[in-house]
Amino acid sequence: MALTIRAKAPLRISFAGGGTDVPPYPETHGGCVLNATIDSYAWGSLRPRQDKRIGIESADLNLQVEFAVGDELHMDGNLDLAKAALKRLEATGCNGFDIFLHSDAPPGSGLGSSSALVVTLVGLVREFRSIALSNYEVAEVAYLIERKDLKINGGLQDQYAASFGGFNFMEFERDRVIVNPLRVHCGSMNELEHNLLLCYTGKTRRSDHIIDDQTARLVSDQRDTVQGLQAQKELAVAMKNALLTNHLSHFGDLLDSAWQAKKKMSDRISNQQIDELYEEARKKGALGGKITGAGGGGFMMFYCEFERKHKVAEQLRKMGAVTTEFAFDREGLQTWRNHGASLAKAV
């Protein structure tokens, strides 16, 4: 029977601290982030073949590439994340395989989908080649693929969130990352799922432009950016404490503070549409909210008292946004083997 290797890695929402994981801030100041993974995923399948050919297909981008085992891999904008992963992991010295990729959210969503996809790719190759990689090592390899090999500007949290899963308080230092899994009470987790609302603005964005601006402001020691990043760190600690002590209304209030601090880091983080959505959500009863990624578009997240949540969602939909419910994921990267499965070729 044909063997197919499967993998999935969860997307994440970031509550506070985003931006303090982006170099050079961790090296100079030390960063920290509070985040959690949700039940949306980057998915992958790998099926061995015997003709010395490698095929990669992305359902989301509607792209396919194929090349011979041993061919030099050119980073030309066509499925570069996958090609860079295979190159770094030296996965092309075999009889060949097909890879199929899909994500529950598009790139630029603010949910860490690109990094989750790379973590999924690392998981597929780890399983295929029986490589011993810990969660830390998977995340580090994924980070190197994105940030070093492909020179995509960004932070560290997304790769570690997708690899570890669950609620985490992450610390970023000059030469190491520390992931502190949080034992969030089941009741607190259920209450968060009841009260949190995701809202898609209808626009994705390239985060690297925003990150470039934030980094330039940090390097030039602009006061608002430095203060905004320091506030993000302090709020990440405060929100962690509120979460662990089940003070969730306070958690919602702190989410608003985190958004106000985040906007100080770059004037590209928000825009008129985001400001209007946020203002109306607050009028309808949201205690707080924020963009879930670097900013400029993608998903927003709001904390509402449950009895007001439907009013907030109704208003956001009237303004053209798409609201969605979600649950939390506790597992992180998962890989498994399926005997007898097939990868259907696109027609």
Q: What's the pLDDT at 345?
A: 47
CATH of domain 186-324: 3.30.70.890
The topology under which CATH files domain 3-182 is Ribosomal Protein S5; domain 2 (3.30.230)
pTM for the full predicted model: 0.93
Give me the count of residues in the chain.
Answer: 347
Residue 309 is given by DSSP the state: H
Indicate the domain borders of the chain.
Answer: 3-182, 186-324
pLDDT for the residue numbered 184 = 96
What secondary structure letter does DSSP report for 290? E
**pLDDT reported for residue 20:** 95
By DSSP bridging, strand 334-339 and strand 3-16 are antiparallel
* 143-150 own/partner pairs: CB under 8 Å, 24+ apart: 144/88, 145/81, 145/84, 145/85, 145/88, 145/118, 146/81, 146/114, 146/115, 146/118, 149/84, 149/87, 149/88, 150/75, 150/80, 150/81, 150/84
Q: Tell me if 18 sits within 8 A of 155, measured CB to CB.
A: yes
Q: What is the pLDDT of residue 342?
A: 54
pLDDT along the chain (347 residues), means of 10: 90 95 93 97 96 96 94 93 95 90 90 96 96 97 97 94 98 95 96 96 71 86 90 96 96 94 88 94 96 86 95 96 94 92 47
The set of catalytic residues is: 158
> What per-residue confidence (pLDDT) applies to 215?
86
What's residue 206's pLDDT?
Answer: 61
Q: Nearest-CA neighbor of 142 among 128, 162, 172?
A: 162
Cα–Cα distance measured from residue 244 to residue 154, given in angstroms and rounded to the nearest whole number: 28
